[in-house]
Amino acid sequence: MSDRTRVGFVGLGNIGKPMALRLAAADGIELTVHDVVPDPVAELVAAGATAAESVAAIEADVVCVMVRDDEQVRSVAADVGPGTVLVVHSTVAPSTPAELAAQGLTVLDAPVSGGAMGAADGTLAIMVGGADDAVAAARPALDAMSSYVVHAGPLGAGTRMKLARNLMHFVAFTAATEAQRLAEASGLDIVELGRVVRHTDAITGGPGAIMHRDTTAPLAPDDFWYGVFEHVVALGEKDLAFAIELADEQGVDVPLARLALERLGKGLGLG
């Protein structure tokens, strides 16, 4: 009996192709790929994979799916063979993993974070929801494509974690556009501002720097984090107030800054 894990990969787009290339280069993986676009399939075959004419033609222990949306995920799932672990890397609606499992499939929802760059260099984070035995079956493939795999909980937990992560991601993007408008109105080079943000976030950890507690409950005064966050709030409220004052002078609308000033302390558990 072979000790190699037979993996199918469907969806060789911007992120899916480099993920599949990591699998093709991995020891212990026997890879079959499928995509409706021929060029990435040819690239994967050149890297050592086998091409399948259809999803139904894939014979594998694990089939990884990285396609555009829920409808395409459902289309792929309809043709996955019995006994196969279906690993959905696409970010789907919270209800979709359970919907697929209700059709008799063994499903893991395993969305990724890290983008095309993380996919290419194998440093993705993969957030997995599903049963322990299914996670164990898929683990060789997951490990080959990432540097951080978290079993977030039962089916659906991976998707919920990805949505929480991306809520912060895109709210932060929106805050960045607010900061750019303020900087531009103040006569600053916003390209240099971006360099400063990336430089310092690499040092401090960015928004993730405050995400160490295991609860969002209010802090007790004797809690270690109380003093830490008290300091964060004092600095944050001061700087937010100054930024809002500058925005008012420049005629720049900064609604996220005003909301942050109102909610920072409570959000950090200080009430």
Closest C-alpha among 143, 270, 132 to residue 210 = 270
- Residue 268 above 70 pLDDT? yes
Q: Quick one: fold of 161-267?
A: N-(1-d-carboxylethyl)-l-norvaline Dehydrogenase; domain 2 (1.10.1040)
Note the residue count of the chain.
Answer: 271
Q: Percent of the chain scored above 70 by pLDDT?
A: 99
Tell me: the pLDDT tens digits for 246-263? Answer: 999 999 999 999 999 999
Contact 70, 92 (CB under 8 A): yes
Q: Is the pLDDT of residue 72 over 50?
A: yes
Strands (E), 75-229: 85-88, 106-109, 112-113, 124-129, 146-153
End-to-end CA distance of the chain: 60
Q: What is the pLDDT of residues 12-44, one digit of tens each?
A: 999 999 999 999 999 999 999 999 999 999 999
pLDDT score of 3: 83
Instruction: Choose the catalytic residue: 17, 162, 238, 266.
Output: 162
Torsion on CA atoms 209, 210, 215, 217, rounded to nearest 10: 180
What is each CA distance from 178 to 104, 182, 188, in whole angstroms?
47, 6, 14
* Per-position DSSP letters for 172-191, written without gaps between them: HHHHHHHHHHHHHHTT--HH
Question: Domain 5-155 in CATH: superfamily?
Answer: NAD(P)-binding Rossmann-like Domain (3.40.50.720)
- pLDDT, tens digit, 9 for 90 and up, residues 95-132: 999 999 999 999 999 999 999 999 999 999 999 999 99
**Domain extent listing, the chain:** 5-155, 161-267
Please list, in sequence order, all residues whose beta carbon lies within 8 angstroms of the beta carbon of residue 59, skipping any fewer than 6 positions away.
6, 8, 32, 81
Summarize pLDDT for 210-250 with one digit per residue, the tens. 999 999 999 999 999 999 999 999 999 999 999 999 999 99
Catalytic, 266? Answer no
With the CA atoms of 143, 123, 116 and 175 taken in that order, what torsion angle do they form, in degrees rounded to the nearest 10?
130
pLDDT in tens, 153-195: 999 999 999 999 999 999 999 999 999 999 999 999 999 999 9
- What's the confidence (pLDDT) of residue 1? 41
Look at residue 2 in the predicted model and tell me its pLDDT. 61
